[in-house]
Each structure stands twice: as C-alpha cells, then as structure tokens.
Amino acid sequence: MTNPILSANLIHDAACEEYRRPIGAVKAKSRLTLAFRDLSGCIASARLFLWGGDWERSYDMALSDGLFSVCLDAPAEPEALWYGFSLNPGDGEPLWLCADGSGRFGSLSGFRGEGFRLTVYAADFETPDWFGKTVMYQIFPDRFARDGSETARRGAEYHRALGRKVKYHEDWSEPVDWLPNSRDGFYFPLDFYGGTLKGIEDRLPYLESLGVGVIYLNPICEAASNHRYDTADYLNTDPILGTNADFIRLCESARRRGIRIILDGVFSHTGADSVYFNRFGRYPAPGAYNGGEASAFYRWYDFRAFPEDYRCWWNFKNLPEVNEEEPAWRDFIITGENSVIKTWLRRGASGFRLDVADELPDPVLALIRDAAKSVSRDNVVLGEVWEDPVIKISYGRRRRYALGSALDSVMNYPLRAALIDFFTFRQDARALAAFLLDQRLNLPPPLYRSLMNLLSSHDTERIRTALAARLDARTLTREQQAGFIVTDKQDERGAAMQKLCAAVQYTVPGVPCIYYGDETGMQGMLDPFCRGPFQEGKRPLTEWYALLGRIRNENDALSAGAAAFYAPGPDVLCILRFIRGEQDLFGTPASDGAFLIAVNRSESPRLAVADLWLDNAGLTGAELAAFKAKDPARGVCLLTGEEIRIDSGLVRLSLQPGAAHIFRLT
Amino acid sequence: MTKKDAITVYFGGDAKELWTGDGLHIVYSGRLAALARRDGSGQWRAEAHFPACSGNVKPDYNAASKEQALAARLNTRDCPDLTLAYFQTAANAGEALLSSKMDAGALPCLSTLNVRGGLDALILPELLRLLLDECRLSWGDSVDIISNCTIYMAKECLCVPLPAIAALTPRGARLIEAVDEKLRGVLRDAFPGDWRRMESGAILSENTVDLGRLSAVMCGSVICAKELKAGNLRTLYTVMPGKFEEDS
C-alpha cells in the first residue's frame, strides 16, 4: 500500500536513535548511522548528502523494512556539518527531506533546504570534571566589596601620579557615573568605588554559603579604566585592587573553602595607556606608540601610518589591537615559560575567561589552551562568545574553537536570551524546550556540560531588570536607561520570574553563574548601570540562590546527569535530570538520582501532565532504558516538600502560579 | 425531527455542504429514514417513515419499501451492531435535544450523557450534527454544549472503519473528520514536527475511527483507569489533562 508523499510519511527525527545513532554531536572518525522512514512506500531510492564549509559527499542509502539508512564514519577533522536526504520517488520529480524550522524533524520539499546539523568534535576533547559540577559567581572587582584598608585609595593615588584622572566614590551607595566626562564628549569609566581583592577574600564565607565553587573575576590587571579591559600591565594587579600577593592569598583562601578563581584574559587588544603601547608616555620604557620600532612592543601592533593610524578594537583609539601572529607577543602572553597566562595560573588562578574570543584566531586560542593545560589539566579556558559557538562565523570564517581544540566552555548568552524570552512571555515553553534540546543535540558534550549559564553579566542588563521591565534595554538611550525607574510592582514581578529563571539555570546542563548582586535583587540597565556597587535590592533572593546551590551541589544528577526537556503546556517547562549506574555521562563516578524540575511562569494555576517516557527527546535509548528500569513512582519537592505520583511515566502536576519545583524521584 | 413523539433517524445517502447567503446548509439526498419510538420497556423500536402500499408505483415506493425493511431489521436486530448502535444513539441524541424543547443551550442542564467509548460514542457526532445543522449553532457553541453534557466513563476504546460510519451517516463521518482535524491542530502545537507523536493522539488513523479518543476529545470530562491513561489515551492525557479526573 502506498500513501501520499508528505512530510508526515517521511520521518527523520534527529533526536531519536532510530534515525540517528548516536544522537547529538559525534566524535571525529566515529561510526554514525543516519536514517529516515518511508511510510509512503513511494521512495524508490535515496542518498544522504553530507556537507561542511567547502565540501560535500553523498552516500547511497539501503532500504530495509521501510527504513532507508546508511552507516558512515564521521570526518577526521572536527567541523560543523549538515546533512539532508535526496529522494527518488521513481516516477516523479526528485525530492529532498531536510530540516524543518526546529532543525529536528524532516520537512519535504522540491529543493535542498536547511540541512540537519551534525557537529563533529575532537575525539580527545575533555573538559575539567570539576568545572561542570560547580556554581560560578562573577565579580566586577571594583564593585563587590571594600576592605578596611587604604589599599584602594593608595591605588587611586598611584594612577593619579601617573597622570590619569580618577574619581573615587566616597559613598558606596552612590549611583555609577555615566555622563560624558572626557574632552571628546564621551563617557570614560574612570569612577572607582574601591572594591579590592581583600574585600573579596573577606566575603568568601558569603560566597561559600551560596554554594559557589568558582569565582570569575573581571579583569584585575593594572589599567586606566574601572573595567580594566584596557590592560596597562599584564603582570601586575591593579593597585586599587591590591597586589599580586593579595591575589595569591585570595586564591589560597578560596581554595581552602573549595572555591577556585578564574580570570578575565584580555588578549586581543591592550590599553593605549599601557606599558606596551604607552601612548601617553606614562610608563618609563618606550612603548610601541612613543618608542616606535625601538620599542620591544612595536611589532605587537599594526600601524597603518605611524604613530596615529593603528588598528584598534572596534575603532576605539584607546584599545589598540595586537597582532596575534607576532611571535614576541605569543611568547609574552601565551607560550613563554613565564608567559602572562602561565604566570597567573601559577599564582593560583584556575583558568581564563577569554575576552572577545571571536577576535582571537583559532590557532592562538589553541595555544592558549595548551598553555593553560600545561600548568594543570584542570585549568579552564572559557570564551566570550555571544552566539552558537559551533556555527559561529567571524571575520568570514566558521570558527572551530568549540570543537575541542581551544575552548572548554563559552558564555551561554543564547540561553540567557531564551530564558528571558520565556519569562517575559515573548516565547512559550515549547520554544524554550526546543532551544534547550537544540543545545543538547548540537554542542559537543564536553563543552555542553561546561557551558557558563549566565543570566546577567557586565555586558547586559541585570536579570531582575530584564524580567521586571520586560523591554529590550538596547532600545533605550543611555539617558533613558539612567532615568528608567522600575516600579515596585515591576520589581515584584521580576523577582517572581527570577526565582523561576534561576531554578532553570541551576538545573539545565552547564555551570550556573551568578552575576554579583543578582542574588540580592540588584537592578541595572546596560553598562555602566549593570556595574553598580554590590548592595541589597528590594527583594533579595539570597536564600533562594543558596538553596538552589546546595541542592545542585548535593546531587550529581543535577550537574552531570542526562537531561531531557518537556513543555507540557505553553507556560510550563519541565526538565528531567538523572544518573543511573553510578557514573555520569563521561564515566566519572557519580551518585545515582533522578529529578524532575517544573516551573509555571503563569499568574494562574496550571495543570500539566509530563510524559517522562515519551517526551524525552535528547535521551539515548540506553539512558531511557536505565531510567525506565527504575520506574520511579513518586517524587518529593526539595523546595516545597510537595509530593507527586508517577504512573507509567506520567506525572500529573498541579502547579501554583509562579511555582518552581525540584522533585526528587524515587 | 419528530413525528408524533418519535425521533427520525436517517441512514445513508449523501450529504453535501451548500454555502448560501444564510450560511452553511447541508443538502441530503438518497437517505432512508426510520422512526424511533420507545416501547413499553423503554427500548427503541423502529417504524417506517411511510407505510409501504402494495402496488404503489410512486417514485418513492422503493424508498418506502426499503425503510420498511430497515425498520424490520432494526427491530429483529438483523443488522450489524454498528447499524443498531447508530440507530439507538441517534435516537438518544434526538430525544435529548427534544427534551430541551430544541433549546440546545438548556441541554447540559437537562441531560448528562455517559459515553463508554464503544459504539455508544456515535451519539457524539450525531449530537454535533443536530446542533450544527438542525439548531444552526456555531461550531464553538455546539462543541461546548456537548462537552458540558457528556462524560466519558472510559471502559473501552473501540475502533471502527470510517467508511462504515460514513455509510450510515455521511455527515456524521464528515464531522468526525472535522473534530480530528481540529485535534490535530492542537497536537501540532504540542508536538511541532513530530508526526508520530501527533498520530499517537489522533482520532483517525488509516481511515479508522478510535471511538475512545473521539469520546475523550468531545466529552467534557474523562473518568478512566490509569491503564487507559497510560495506553490509548496517553497523548490526549498529556495534551488536555484538565479533562481527566484525577485518580483517587
């Protein structure tokens, strides 16, 4: 019997092992099976087309019991690939079965459409086990905590003595500066609050109480600005923050509490006001600008016309870009025995977040990885990438830094956007679940488990503000942002949504990261308003974050377990995490456990049924079998104590408005 | 609909949709009628619409004769279960509407119809037909009324070929297809792109009507064993959990 040739009769599901084995990203050279089922009975023959950036291959597919399939070896080179099926109906026009809008299911058309994604990553790609299981806390060092000493004031004087303009906020609660303050009419971030490394060290017990296992510090090297992305001296701590000894002591104190420190590595450019460029002659040795070719650093930079016309980051004249091909630069920053990277790691850092990783060439990123890992395999290399890191194209080339040669992790801004879209009602739960599945299927597992899952950063509006105001801060001028008032009602709503948002953040694969002050309910639009001094907002959620941190840290399944995502209704998102067999996905010993997370964003109660046995895209057959074998029958919420029953994999959830649950399934 | 307190039940023929300035009208042709009247024990008995007259050569003689034969077969149960069930459920539907004095809105207050998911579920498309075509209510109002006056006490999930239903009630079969189409819209929203998952909840599959799922979709509430929830009604349970009574 034949049926019409419709999408419904030609089945490919990239999340189902019947059609793709294994599901998700695959290791280079590994065996792979791709298939589709023909329910129409009309397809005479089919070919698989597989393509990368500049190549394409095709394979004959064999037909057996209505299933067209082909086994192949993944390419030896890690790469983002795509595939589609070319169909020959025998007596009709050729057809294509390519990816639908979700990228997961097949869509039939008369031409080759979007392919299904297939990520091939390096077979030896490993990321530090500790990192995927921890909780991160991001600190903008000037704004987190003062200490009782005169360190910051002395540091400010140091900068003034060099000729720099420095404003010191005597009052910690003052608003940040944002008005134009330079001769060219722009705002320059020269106002300091005097937070120090010692201040951070003093607050380690607080961070420990939040369950934090790693602190990510925005730049701490000497620089002219308060954000310090304009590095003046790579090897020294900015005197306002303290000394190199303070940094070493901070790392040691933190390590005693089980907390590591990672630093911000700003390597694509330096400050113009720096030891290396020395545009203003503030440093004694000649820099590239004031010393020309006589300077040891001249070749670090690209002068189109010396000295005024030089390549700089996004045309900011105070941020001259470096020439990463320059051996001397590579030696100084990365490869030398006492390179900047190795030096800070030896001082106690456990890795780097690489600023504007997109703007560092892949070979340089690979060298940075090698350097970091040469000090310790446990060191982390995390990249600032705003988009999907596997298919990112920058400067005309598809980047490969997420496939095992360079980055352990990236800043998961896409997750942030997806969560905000959901919790501000721009998208429904199905879109969020589809997004989460997309990351599961397309990111290399070692990177996936290490994603830096942030809700805010120094470059975005704070999550409370985003959820309370429900508008895109980028549409506002700086003046409008400065004058924007979040009403009490909005803040109340924002706090309610932030609780749910954090519950999801802490339970999806990856490393949840708290941007300092988010836990206390701080508000803030874009830079510089998101960089205010640490303080308590109107509706702090500190205890909530501490509880989430404790639950996550106590249960391996929440950090390292298999994951599946469900949307049993437009307002309800469910996440299943579990470990069976006492080891995680990477073979590391881990405690068994199964958890169902459910959130209801609605202001009304919601009744939902989650089907743990059927709606589990993202799980492998073995994972699902292991889960079903245990056949959990009940669950108890670790947040509220509420109980649920599970019958044949079906969970009936009566969710109160704004409810968040983490059910332990037994 | 009635002839001296009897309910007219139509069989077979053809039903065509005709859009006029007055809205949608259904034009029937070639169908046979049987009058359903309750006997002393409350059972439905069939009567021919017109008594057949020997030697009558009017054009409708054949129809009248056929109706006589149909009524006889219905009363002696000398017909397929499906035909008998259709006769009884259609009569029940007509009676329910009659009891509300054709005020369909009052129907939920007057009647609560229990459906088991077997052939008795044929009452659902027949009710829908009456509300849409006879009472001329909108689709939404009709569906709401049926939902408010029906409970699916799930005992079985019988499957019946759609052509068999269409042979008895072509309009009813068309309405089942329409209910299925609307359900598929809901399933498409719930499982975008996942055709297999959609199929697992659909009423129609390979030209067969799942009367259990039809009942679950059209009835206002569903009371069923957990085995059905976990089995044939699983997808509908996840998509419309509010209809399903919680297990005690």
Please enumerate, as own/partner, the contacts of B93-101 that have beta carbons within 8 Å and a separation of 24 or more.
B93/B123, B93/B126, B93/B127, B93/B130, B94/B1, B94/B2, B94/B7, B94/B8, B94/B9, B94/B36, B94/B126, B94/B130, B95/B7, B96/B127, B96/B149, B97/B1, B97/B127, B97/B130, B97/B131, B97/B134, B97/B135, B98/B1, B98/B2, B98/B7
One-letter amino acid at A588 equals T
The residue of chain A with its CA nearest to that of B186 is A569
Helix (H) or strand (E) holding A382: strand A380-383
Mutate to test the interface with B, among A614, A631, A645, A653 (most CBs of B within 10 A): A614
Residues in chain A within 8 Å Cβ distance of B185: none
B102: confidence class by pLDDT, cuts 50, 70, 90: low
Residues in chain B within 8 Å Cβ distance of A652: 241, 246
Please tell me the predicted confidence (pLDDT) of residue A404: 98
DSSP-derived pairing of the beta strands A79-88 and A116-121 = antiparallel
Dihedrals φ, ψ of B2, to 5°? Answer: -120, 160
Contact status, residue B37 vs residue B45, Cβ threshold 8 Å? yes
Residues A71, A537: Cα–Cα separation, whole Å: 57
Q: How far is CA A103 from each of CA A15, A95, A115, A389, rounded to the nearest angstrom?
A: 10, 18, 8, 17
Mutate to test the interface with A, among B198, B199, B235, B238 (most CBs of A within 10 A): B238
Task: Identify residues of A whose CB sits under 8 angstroms from chain B CBs.
Answer: 7-9, 11, 13, 100-102, 104-105, 107, 430, 434, 568, 607-611, 614-615, 647-650, 652
Mutate to test the interface with A, among B181, B196, B221 (most CBs of A within 10 A): B196
Token couple for A147 = 């200490």
Task: Find residue B149's DSSP bridge partners.
Answer: none
pLDDT in tens, B103-120: 777 777 667 889 999 999
Residues B128, B126: Cα–Cα separation, whole Å: 5
Contact status, residue A23 vs residue A14, Cβ threshold 8 Å? yes
Contact status, residue A342 vs residue A374, Cβ threshold 8 Å? yes
pLDDT in tens, A275-320: 999 999 999 999 999 999 999 999 999 999 999 999 999 999 999 9
B200 CB-side CA count, 13 A: 19
The pLDDT of residue B135 is above 60: yes
pLDDT in tens, A355-368: 999 999 999 999 99
Please tell me the predicted confidence (pLDDT) of residue B110: 67
Please tell me the predicted confidence (pLDDT) of residue A6: 80
CA quadruple A420, A422, A427, A429: dihedral, nearest 10: 150
Q: How far is CA B176 from each of CA A88, A453, B162, rounded to the nearest angstrom?
A: 35, 48, 9
Calculate mean pLDDT across residues B218-238. 94
Residues A173, A36: Cα–Cα separation, whole Å: 62
Residues B73, B82: Cα–Cα separation, whole Å: 13
Task: Identify residues of B whose CB sits under 8 angstroms from chain A CBs.
Answer: 189-190, 192-200, 226, 229-230, 234-235, 237-238, 241-242, 246-247
Q: pLDDT: is A321 or B248 the higher one? A: A321
First CA to last CA across chain A, in angstroms?
Answer: 46
pLDDT in tens, A379-417: 999 999 999 999 999 988 999 999 999 999 999 999 999
DSSP string, B113-164: EEE-SSGGGGHHHHHHHIIIIIS---HHHHHHHHHHHEEEE-S---EEEHHH
One-letter amino acid at B74 equals L
Token couple for A120 = 């091939």
Please tell me the predicted confidence (pLDDT) of residue B57: 56
CATH architecture of B2-246: 3-Layer(aba) Sandwich (3.40)
B22: confidence class by pLDDT, cuts 50, 70, 90: confident
Q: How far is B117 from chain A (nearest CA, A)?
A: 22
A90: confidence class by pLDDT, cuts 50, 70, 90: confident
Please tell me the predicted confidence (pLDDT) of residue A2: 62
- Is B241 close to A609, i.e. CB distance below 8 A? yes
Q: Which of A139-148, B17-26, B38-47 has the highest mean pLDDT?
A: A139-148
The pLDDT of residue B60 is above 80: no
Q: Which of B193, B226, B229 sits opposite A105 (nearest CB)?
A: B193
3-state secondary structure of A158: helix
Helix (H) or strand (E) holding A582: none
Contact status, residue A547 vs residue A535, Cβ threshold 8 Å? no
Calculate mean pLDDT across residues A199-215. 98
Residues in chain A within 8 Å Cβ distance of B195: 7-9, 11, 105
Q: pLDDT: is A4 or B84 the higher one? A: B84
A550: Cβ contacts below 8 Å, ≥ 6 apart: A211
Contact status, residue A582 vs residue A591, Cβ threshold 8 Å? yes
- Is A430 close to B189, i.e. CB distance below 8 A? yes
Residues in chain A within 8 Å Cβ distance of B196: 11, 13
Calculate mean pLDDT across residues B53-82. 80
Residues A365, A333: Cα–Cα separation, whole Å: 12
Alpha carbon B10 to chain centroid, angstroms: 12
DSSP string, B20-61: ETTEEEEEEES-EEEEEEE-TTS-EEEEESS---TT--STTH
Contact status, residue A9 vs residue A49, Cβ threshold 8 Å? no
Q: How far is A609 from chain B (nearest CA, A)?
A: 5
Residues A391, A414: Cα–Cα separation, whole Å: 13
Average per-residue pLDDT for chain A: 96
Contact status, residue B16 vs residue B34, Cβ threshold 8 Å? no
B99: Cβ contacts below 8 Å, ≥ 6 apart: B110, B111
Token couple for A614 = 């059927």
Q: How far is B12 from chain A (nearest CA, A)?
A: 28
A601: confidence class by pLDDT, cuts 50, 70, 90: very high
pLDDT in tens, A40-62: 999 999 999 999 999 999 999 99
- Is A7 close to B190, i.e. CB distance below 8 A? no
Output b/e per residue, A80-92; b: 16+ Cβ within 10 A: bbbbbbbbebeee
- Is A568 close to B238, i.e. CB distance below 8 A? yes
The pLDDT of residue A86 is above 80: yes
Q: Which of A11, A430, A607 sits opposite B241 (nearest CB)?
A: A607
Q: Which of A105, A568, A610 sits opposite B194 (nearest CB)?
A: A105
The pLDDT of residue A343 is above 60: yes
Which of A636, A630, A519 minimizes the C-alpha distance to A578? A630
Q: How far is CA B153 from each of CA B117, B119, B212, rounded to the nearest angstrom?
A: 8, 13, 10
Which of B209, B194, B182 minimizes the C-alpha distance to A611? B194
> What ranges do the domains of chain B cover?
2-246
**pTM of the predicted structure, to 2 decimals:** 0.95
Please tell me the predicted confidence (pLDDT) of residue B100: 77
Token couple for A510 = 């990856």
Q: How far is B74 from chain A (nearest CA, A)?
A: 36
Contact status, residue A176 vs residue A481, Cβ threshold 8 Å? no
Residues A585, A445: Cα–Cα separation, whole Å: 9
Helix (H) or strand (E) holding A464: helix A463-469
- % pLDDT > 90, chain A: 95
Residues A453, A321: Cα–Cα separation, whole Å: 29
- The neighbour count for residue B12, using CB atoms within 10 Å, is 17
- Is A607 close to B242, i.e. CB distance below 8 A? yes
- The neighbour count for residue A645, using CB atoms within 10 Å, is 14
Please tell me the predicted confidence (pLDDT) of residue A5: 76
Q: How far is A101 from chain B (nearest CA, A)?
A: 9
Q: Mind telling me the catalytic residues of A? A: 355, 384
First CA to last CA across chain B, in angstroms?
Answer: 42
Which of A157, A162, A156, A166 minimizes the C-alpha distance to A284? A162
HEC-encoded secondary structure of B170-210: HHHHHHHHHHHHHHHHHHHHHCCCCHHHHHCCCCEECCEEE
Residues B117, B199: Cα–Cα separation, whole Å: 19
Calculate mean pLDDT across residues B66-76. 91
Please tell me the predicted confidence (pLDDT) of residue A382: 98
- Is B229 close to A105, i.e. CB distance below 8 A? no
B37 CB-side CA count, 13 A: 13
3-state secondary structure of A285: coil
The residue of chain A with its CA nearest to that of B230 is A648
- Is B234 close to A611, i.e. CB distance below 8 A? yes
Q: How far is B168 from chain A (nearest CA, A)?
A: 26
The residue of chain B with its CA nearest to that of A15 is B194
Query: Burial, A95: exposed, middle or buried (Cβ in 10 Å; 0-12, 13-18, 19+)?
Result: buried
Q: How far is CA A358 from each of CA A19, A318, A406, A418, rounded to the nearest angstrom?
A: 34, 20, 12, 22
- Is B230 close to A647, i.e. CB distance below 8 A? yes
Contact status, residue A39 vs residue A10, Cβ threshold 8 Å? yes
DSSP-derived pairing of the beta strands A606-611 and A650-655 = antiparallel
Calculate mean pLDDT across residues A478-494. 95
A397: Cβ contacts below 8 Å, ≥ 6 apart: none
Residues B83, B65: Cα–Cα separation, whole Å: 18
- Is B238 close to A610, i.e. CB distance below 8 A? yes
Residues in chain B within 8 Å Cβ distance of A8: 195, 198-199
Q: Which of B196, B238, B247 sits opposite A609 (nearest CB)?
A: B238
Please tell me the predicted confidence (pLDDT) of residue B79: 94
B61: confidence class by pLDDT, cuts 50, 70, 90: low
Please tell me the predicted confidence (pLDDT) of residue B49: 75
- Is B230 close to A650, i.e. CB distance below 8 A? yes
The pLDDT of residue A341 is above 80: yes
Q: How far is A41 from chain B (nearest CA, A)?
A: 14
- Is A648 close to B241, i.e. CB distance below 8 A? no
- % pLDDT > 70, chain A: 100
Per-residue DSSP letter, A335: I
Which of B146, B93, B98, B154 minimizes the C-alpha distance to B122? B93
Token couple for A557 = 């399944």
Q: Is the peptide bond before A528 cis (omega within 30 degrees of 0)?
A: yes
Residues A355, A366: Cα–Cα separation, whole Å: 15
